[in-house]
Amino acid sequence: MFVAIVVGIVIGVACFAPLVYGMNKARMATPTSNFGHAGSLLLGVLLSFVALGVATVVCVMFFRDLAVPFVLAEAGGLIAAAVVFGVNKQLRR
């Protein structure tokens, strides 16, 4: 069970990367760009949720008894990454 929690935390933190990438792409968007600000952000959110969903489905398919701790750790890792990112961003200002 410990391994499922650690892997869930790692995947949750890794699933925050598409959100950061989308935010950085949105910051670089020009007013005349085709993708625009919202498109980049929404693509980052979509990729993050797809990665979370795929990891959850794989865990449920192969390790059903470890699904609950894995999913909770995954969500906790994503939330912790978002909090650390937000606090870091505020402290750098």
In terms of C-beta density within 10 A (0-12 exposed, 13-18 middle, 19 or more buried), how is residue 77 classed?
Answer: buried
- Residue spans of the domains in the chain: they are 2-91
Burial 4-29 (b: 16+ CB within 10 A, else e): bbebbbebbbbbbebbeebeebbeeb
Q: What is the pTM of this model?
A: 0.84
Using CA atoms, how far apart are residues 83 and 89, in angstroms rounded to an integer? 10
pLDDT digits (tens, 9 = 90+) for 37-87: 788 889 889 999 999 999 999 999 999 999 999 999 999 999 999 999 999
Tell me the residue length of the chain.
93
pLDDT digits (tens, 9 = 90+) for 14-39: 999 999 998 888 888 777 777 777 88
Using CA atoms, how far apart are residues 29 and 87, in angstroms rounded to an integer? 25
